[in-house]
Amino acid sequence: MRYRRLGHSGCAVSELCLGTMTFGNETDEAGAHEQLDVFLEAGGTFVDTADVYSAGVSEEIIGAWLRSRPREVTDRVVLATKGRFAATDQGPNGNGLSTRHLTRALEDSLRRLGVDAVDLYQVHAFDEHTPMEETLRTLDGFVQAGKIHYYGLSNFTGWQLTKAVLTARALGLRQPVTLQPQYSLVVREIEWEIVPAALDAGMGLLPWSPLGVGGSPGSTGVTSGRRGTPASATTPDAAWRPTTGGATTARGASSTPWSGSPRAAGARWPRSPSPGSTTVPRSRRRSSVRARPTSCGPTSRPSTCS
């Protein structure tokens, strides 16, 4: 397992991050704990969850695992969660990036996880109804209070990301260290503006669903997550081309034909667009978690996110 810095921070994380969206839904507690054990045994340290994953059950499962394992194991974990959407409160203030909602959301996440602080707190999506200044002052206050160590953004567009960074600078507040966008061989739109904007701001990239929500590319072509839509209709160029013997290679990733499996290429791809990124695969089975740390192959990119 390789390690990289979390954006422009000094915190090191594993190159692969274990996404836990299936915990409490498709994966029961015993299976989730087994996945976490296997991930840590393989050298993984970065675990990502959110308050809305299984309506908070994912966080509860991780909290139970943290309490049941020795400290020398759990101390290695860099824990990330998210807030923005309604996990339990369905009222008018039950979602968004207001001070009121984020404060309650973070307190609930800390309670479910059973921790005093999380390493990375991410706003799950942009909120057009809340002033950016309010959101950023709230996140900066969480850091000052010791409840989070860093904060990041998720599912922001290029202009939204840039507005957040410039506003934080203008107000003299801490800046976001990461962006978590969707990115895979079949969803590549972030290459146009979002990746350049994140790199210009010195932010680390945490691509989610690097295998296209489990839709591993086939041996001679792929379709996007939208039923019946060819990849060429939703990507800057054709993502795959057939090579001798029916194998495939990712265009733009390397001039050398890819000899590994399509699944391995799909896992490796999100680490190609920048000087460094940490991918966030989500798994349902222990076998998948065990395979991923060794399936991505080597990378010539620097070991730090930037």
In the residue annotation, 53 being an active-site residue is answered as yes
β-pair type (204-205, 12-14): unpaired
Backbone angles phi, psi at 80, to 5 degrees: -125, 140
DSSP strand E in 50-172: where? Answer: 78-83, 118-123, 148-154
Q: Which of 53, 121, 150, 151 does the annotation list as catalytic?
A: 53
Report the C-alpha gap between 252 and 256 in whole angstroms: 10
Own/partner long-range contacts of 87-93 (Cβ < 8 Å, ≥24 apart): 87/51, 87/52, 87/55, 87/56, 88/55, 88/56
Report the C-alpha gap between 206 and 16 in whole angstroms: 9
Residues with Cβ within 8 Å of 264's Cβ and at least 6 positions away in sequence, in order, are: 295, 296, 297
280 beta partners: 208
In the sheet that 46-48 helps form, which strands lie side by side, from edge to edge? 17-19, 46-48, 78-83, 118-123, 148-154, 178-180, 204-205
- How would you class 12 by CB atoms within 10 Å of its CB: exposed for 0-12, middle for 13-18, buried for 19 or more? middle
Report the C-alpha gap between 262 and 125 in whole angstroms: 30
DSSP strand E in the chain: where? Answer: 3-5, 12-14, 17-19, 46-48, 78-83, 118-123, 148-154, 178-180, 204-205, 240-242, 248-250
Closest CA to 207 of 273, 277, 295: 277
**CA angle at 296 for the pair 194 and 39, rounded to the nearest 5°:** 95
Catalytic positions, written as ranges: 53
